[in-house]
Structure 1
């Protein structure tokens, strides 16, 4: 009947923790290399026609050195910083400006002769987008296009087409990077939840085969006796109920800052308290869940202290979509109409502060129905929008 509960079987570390945009960074660096080779070929083709051929070659050398620098920086997870991407943008714009000294005025006046940097500058747009998302990618594209206008010295349809392409590419790549990060975060949360559920189920099987069977045996045997044995049987029964509720409860907190109120309240079940909650989770911000749980605990504590030794309590949770309703009812001796006011005058502020104060802080309302001999019922209503 006994069982040995071993330590948790931790799952192997998942690769989800890596940066999901790593393939995009590699593609951005590869784009720099390929466009550098293209720019070098263009310079060799037009070298004899340039006003300052030596400056064109020096610009290609600077582009090659900077490509090597950004490759080292961007291929390291710790090096993908927005500040370095802004520096990258500044270097690209500065190298674009050298074309005004390299190209002749006639070459600048026509779009058929590319700037020395040519399409190499599109790589910085990709870097900004992958680094900081669609908005930054679009801004980087607009800045590069603006320098393209400035170096050429005029505006036409072809340059405007380049503007639309640069902004569009920056936005789309940034959107892809942001989506990849969100998807990876959700997958990691799901994998952690799955591992936690699997571990809880493994422990639940061990507990069921050992602890629960012992408690059930103590409860059954003790109930047949009187005196202290009967009291031990009652306590064992309460612990058995609480342990079964704990085993049946799913994950009560998540990685997104919410907690399952239904799971938290389900743990309050005991021999004298029945808890009814929806079968599906009721996620609320962790702070709100903790406050509502505290209110219910305080109400149940009042049942223990004042309702009578034989009183039972019932907790009901309802998710109505627009609001959360929690009811706590008991069949105890009830409260006289003037008793609460007398307690406040005497300085005992438990109900006023612990229950009403907490609900008021959450933007909710609370109603009390009671009468001598008719028990007590609290009804808490918290708007979901306020809770969120």
Structure 2
């Protein structure tokens, strides 16, 4: 997702958890220096000092690699983090060959010491709570397996590593969700500002002209009255277009159904929608709007001059109900079947076909002199 830079000059498409990665890099440097200090303190007592310093050399090389990888967005890959966890656990296991039995009894730190916490933070930053908790548990379990006994220190390490992975992972997931919401808010703000700019321009020009034509045509009568009526309809439609909320889809592919239906309002069509957003998959919202347009088109063609229509949207949680009702003469019995047999497939394809494709239900209520009402129910 690429958007314009924010007012503070920070690119909006920057990794929202970049600060966690910078913290991971700093942690890796500090903990490596600590590991070097511990090794220098105890190397004279190790049973294989050369192996201890070899492990430190590997830690140094891997630290350089991960510092470079985690410092760049294209280097923060799952395989790098997985390799980080595996390598840390492997190096920790060399403590069996480095430390003496006496050092294990005295709880001398394993060769990796707190350097082993690095991949836990990296996994949490990359994958959230689950990845952070699992990596923390894996490193903690390796600590237990190398110690060979359960004591307060081992339990403390497991709890701290698992808990730290969970908490940092939660912060990572929260930061990503916040970044998505901020991007949506910025897009909505930009769309609203642009719509308001267009509204001012249209109000100062087109709407005033249409209003003047409507008023003057009504005064003149005759054919001018018809032009006045058409100008009035376009004035209402244009005002609805300007006033409608901008259509917007979420990262999950959902869209608000209301704007597409609000644009269908005219002097003879009243649209009523909930005050809150009616979120549906974008394709579903588009198809429902097409169903309503087709139903209103039938009202215009068959309900007679002066017929009015009402569109009602109800959000019932598990399903969305859209009703289109008119006060026309109604549909005679058998008329729809005969129209389909004659090849006129407006209702069969544009309405029934779309609703079936959405796995929704369609109910028609009509009768001579009773008008027509279509009710569409679509389950979420």
Tell me which residue corresponds to 2:200. Answer: 205
Q: Which piece of structure 1 moves more, 98-107 or 132-141?
A: 98-107
Name which of 71, 77, 84 aligns with 1:75.
Answer: 71
How far residue 162 of structure 1 moved from its aligned partner, in angstroms, is 1.6
> In 1, Cα distance between the equivalents of 2:6 and 2:164?
40
> In 2, Cα distance between the equivalents of 1:345 and 1:351?
12
Q: Which piece of structure 1 moves more, 88-97 or 235-244?
A: 88-97
Name which of 124, 149, 159 aligns with 1:129.
Answer: 124
Q: Which piece of structure 1 moves more, 121-130 or 277-286?
A: 277-286
> In 2, Cα distance between the equivalents of 1:337 and 1:55?
92
Conserved 8 A contact 2:6-2:12:
no
Conserved 8 A contact 1:16-1:187:
no
Q: Which piece of structure 1 moves more, 55-64 or 147-156?
A: 147-156
Conserved 8 A contact 2:55-2:91:
yes
Tell me which residue corresponds to 1:348. Answer: 344
How far residue 14 of structure 1 moved from its aligned partner, in angstroms, is 5.8
> In 2, Cα distance between the equivalents of 1:54 and 1:211?
85
Name which of 260, 271, 286 aligns with 1:290.
Answer: 286
How far residue 340 of structure 1 moved from its aligned partner, in angstroms, is 2.0
Superposition pairs of residues 187-202 of structure 1, within 5 angstroms: 187-202=182-197
> In 2, Cα distance between the equivalents of 1:21 and 1:148?
28
> In 1, Cα distance between the equivalents of 2:367 and 2:339?
16
Conserved 8 A contact 1:149-1:155:
yes
Conserved 8 A contact 1:263-1:281:
no
> In 2, Cα distance between the equivalents of 1:94 and 1:370?
75
Report the aligned-residue RMSD. 2.3
Q: Size of the alignment, in residue pairs?
A: 375
How far residue 293 of structure 1 moved from its aligned partner, in angstroms, is 1.0
> In 1, Cα distance between the equivalents of 2:100 and 2:348?
84
CA offsets, 1:224-264, max 9 Å, x none? 33555444333322221111001111122232422222221
Secondary structure of the 1:42 match is helix
Tell me which residue corresponds to 2:330. Answer: 334
Tell me which residue corresponds to 2:147. Answer: 152
Tell me which residue corresponds to 1:260. Answer: 256
> In 1, Cα distance between the equivalents of 2:81 and 2:353?
50
Q: Which piece of structure 1 moves more, 79-88 or 159-168?
A: 159-168
> In 2, Cα distance between the equivalents of 1:130 and 1:290?
37
> In 1, Cα distance between the equivalents of 2:254 and 2:72?
33
Q: Any gaps of 5 or more consecutive residues in structure 1?
A: 1-8
Tell me which residue corresponds to 1:39. Answer: 35
Q: In the alignment, does 2:7 pair up with 1:18?
A: no
How far residue 47 of structure 1 moved from its aligned partner, in angstroms, is 1.8
With over 3 angstroms needed to count, the CA separation of the structure-2 counterparts of 1:29 and 1:212, relative to structure 1, is same
Q: Any gaps of 5 or more consecutive residues in structure 2?
A: none
Tell me which residue corresponds to 2:267. Answer: 271
Secondary structure of the 1:311 match is coil
Q: TM-score, normalised by structure 2?
A: 0.90
Secondary structure of the 1:353 match is helix
Q: Which piece of structure 1 moves more, 48-57 or 372-381?
A: 372-381
Q: In the alignment, does 2:63 pair up with 1:63?
A: no
CA offsets, 1:66-93, max 9 Å, x none? 2121111101111111111111122212
How far residue 173 of structure 1 moved from its aligned partner, in angstroms, is 1.2
Conserved 8 A contact 1:253-1:286:
no
How far residue 351 of structure 1 moved from its aligned partner, in angstroms, is 1.6
Q: TM-score, normalised by structure 1?
A: 0.89
> In 1, Cα distance between the equivalents of 2:274 and 2:137?
52
